A and B are shown apart, each in its own frame.
Chain A
Amino acid sequence: MITKEIIEKIEGEASVEFEIKDNLVEFATISFPHFRGIEMILNGKNALDALVITPRVCGICGHAHLMASVRAIEDAYKNAGYEIKNNQKIEKIREFTLIMEIIQNHFKWFYMTLIPELEKLHSTSLVQTPLKGAFAASLAAKAIATFAGQWPHSSYMIPGGITSDPTNIDILQVQTYLQELSLFFENETLGTSLEDFLSFESCKEFRGLNSDFSYIEEKLISLEMHEKGFAYDKFLILGKHSFTSVSKLNKTHAVGIDAKFVNTVEAYSPNQITYAKNAQYKKEYYETGPLSRMMALNFPIIKNMHRRFKDSAYSRVMARIFELAYLLKKASSLATTLTIAESSYNSVVDISKITASGLGVVEAPRGPLLHKIEIEKGIIESYKIITPTQFNIGSSSLKNPTPAQKAMQKLSKEEALFVFRTFDVCSVCTTH
């Protein structure tokens, strides 16, 4: 039997076609039925225009696109013989706003996607509190806006630095937003302090909590999500940051990698129109995103979870919430060690002098985001964007399924749809 399900609430729309046998998913193909052609629009434009165009690929991770663009252009400067060395202040502020975008994404996902979706699976009704998600996400967005002018669609990063010149009052303001956000996370979401939560060594310690988080954790276990939704147990982290370890992991074994080996292949979707391509590393599929990033950092709790539950849907969800805690702490440390004495910008040669190619790689909320640019005398010759959802949620054949396709196999349709969402789908990014 073949059935089709439309997925919403994912920044755009996706469609999953299931082949059901004995009430279980035999196989699923995924399609993204929309296309805008952003790469074609970039061609022929001034390279600096990429800084305002690419953030518009996505309303939820536009800041990651901005940073990927600026890194790609700065890489082109380097390849053209004009290396740009950004000072601590520039690097820290860019890193801070990127982290805050990941944080707002995870909050929104937790309260606006995870809880309603769990409710559908679970017979008891959960208390839905989407405004909690909106509250936390808007606090994070205000912290971004303090440096970047607005969120979504900020454009304050430029080759050579940033355009804003924050004062000590701005820094204090940002620290206040962060404190408020951390308090909210501790009191409403976790039910314990950030420090305690980050020092947990076993999943059993979650049981002592009484909070939104522990409630979700119990539900996941009672739905046996710790035994479902397994992908390849292979992870990929490509964006170089103060909060990541660039590597690929086969289970727990990590090796170094190079983003130049990322390739894309056509999606397999015989019955439905799709405009997406699948992304691979050296022609193999890897899972990307919070679980991958946390696996690479060797936290005791994550190791413990992985030993017991592998890359199950449970681990994927828990790692996203753990990453929230980890990044909140990271953001606090960035905000408190920031000194504003250095310059926000270092003069660079005019873009019209640049003829070179460049690669910009960052970690976006869902995993690696790659921008490849080719510049001819300051004008874009070609622009390629590869997004995290292309790694996680491609659509391939039964012989060689993508991580999401593999994770959905042998589950009931309802469970499969839930597992699909544990990857945190961004549809508009996927086709761009």
Chain B
Amino acid sequence: MSTSMKETSFDSLYKAFEERIEQLKKLPKMKEDSSIEQVINDNGFSRREFMIWAGGVTAMLALPSSFTPLMAEAVKVADRLPIIWLHMAECTGCTESLLRSANPSIDSLIFDYISLEYQETLMTAAGWQAEQNLENAMKKYKGRYILMVEGGIPSADTEHYLTIGGHGKTGKASAMEAAEHAAAVFAIGTCSAFGGVQAAAPNPSNAVALSEVTHKTVINVPGCPPSEKNIVGTLLHYLLYGTLPALDVFNRPKWAYRLRIHDLCERRGHFDAGEFVEQFGDAGAKDGYCLYKVGCKGPYTFNNCSKQKFNQGTSWPVQAGFGCIGCSEPDFWDTMGTVNEPIKDRLYNTTFGGLGADATADKIGIGLLTATAVGIAAHAVVSAIKPPKE
């Protein structure tokens, strides 16, 4: 590939982003009196730290560093997009992961700054008022809001295993309705993406993925939980491109789920050298050898944990000596057990015939979402998460 061609393609992308941001700028702000500069400043971050963060996100989304100022610009207009976040059958771990993203880090501030119109765990309103807010937000921003769903969806004759709100509406009905009029639909976490733990055999509640109850294209952000970086990154990607990201065969954004855990694992050198932990606590375990033989499913699992880690980069399971359990793969609870044993009849390089998830990804429909018309008035439910005034 010649350098000049590469530059040309990024040039046009750069222009497209600029236009997108200009378009978004014309839309009304959700909160008249807030700006990202203010939010960052109020929370004790300098502009320099903000730019370093923007650079990190730019790199994470596989864009050249020259896009960093554009990323910073994009964040400034993030408050033009209304977001509705629904909880289905789940443990709220994904929300907790997002809340723990930070000190408060810039990641969580972004979620403060954007207009979270409805989020059960974070909002101030509760009960009937909350239900009303949800209905209002869905009506007001019809066709324009971003829908983020956490949790699997009970279906069939056990649909009533999840009801939401005072009217006893089932989770499935709520999710279907919310998805119908959303501009973009994101399944946050493995439960929403693939059914998750409650969908493991015998699946007592007939829990299914969000994509099974709507005809809309669902972008899956699996992980149990997904890292805060993947949640925020998905949002910023949509903000910049105004379209769905390139997806793999399971509708996961390629920028995050393109590589196997194994590919960038810190213990990979030991795998290549044939140095394995044979049993927990042995000499190999002390020396950080490869965990494949004690059940690591990293070779079959597509995610960026080995790079992004968790809790603001503190650690990740493999670093703590516990192999990957495959939590961002569909049906891993049933197909990748037992947890502390390797998958005996599956060689590590056989996923998708050895080609990896890329093999069929481009055949999956990538429906383009329009970037237009995000007309909004101030409706500051999001004031629930005001930053602390130091």
Contact = CB atoms under 8 A, between A and B. Distances in A.
A35 interface: yes
B386 interface: yes
Given A52-B339, A56-B197, A116-B384, A135 B104 contact: yes
Contact of B168 (A33, A128, A156): A33
Interface string B300-311: 000000000111
A51 B294 CA distance: 14
B280 to A, nearest CB: 5
Given A145-B310, A147-B320, A345-B281, A59 B389 contact: no
5 contacts: A6-B126, A37-B205, A56-B197, A59-B90, A152-B100
A273 B312 CA distance: 40
Given A8-B130, A49-B339, A149 B197 contact: no
Interface string B78-120: 0000000001011111111101111111001000100000001
A371 interface: no
A6 B207 CA distance: 23
A38 interface: yes
A131 interface: yes
A158 B333 CA distance: 18
B365 interface: no
A137 B338 contact: no
Interface of A: 4-9, 11-13, 15, 33-38, 40-41, 44-46, 48-49, 51-53, 56-60, 62, 104, 108, 112, 116, 127-132, 134-135, 137-139, 141-142, 144-156, 158, 160-165, 273, 275, 343-347, 428
A160 B281 contact: yes
Contacts of B320: 145, 147-150, 154, 156, 163-164
- Which 4 A-B residue pairs are closest in the complex by CB-CB distance? A37-B204, A345-B281, A59-B93, A149-B320
B299 to A, nearest CB: 18
B56 interface: no
Interface string B314-356: 1111111110010000000100011110000000000000000
A39 to B, nearest CB: 9
A412 B340 CA distance: 53
Given A59-B92, A134-B100, A149 B316 contact: yes
Contacts of B165: 6, 13
A132 B202 contact: no
Contacts of A127: 389
A247 B128 CA distance: 40
A138 B99 contact: yes
Contacts of A347: 279, 281
B161 interface: yes
B89 A53 contact: no
B39 to A, nearest CB: 10
B193 to A, nearest CB: 14
Contacts of A158: 280, 322, 340
A345 B280 contact: yes
A6 B130 contact: yes
A57 B321 contact: no
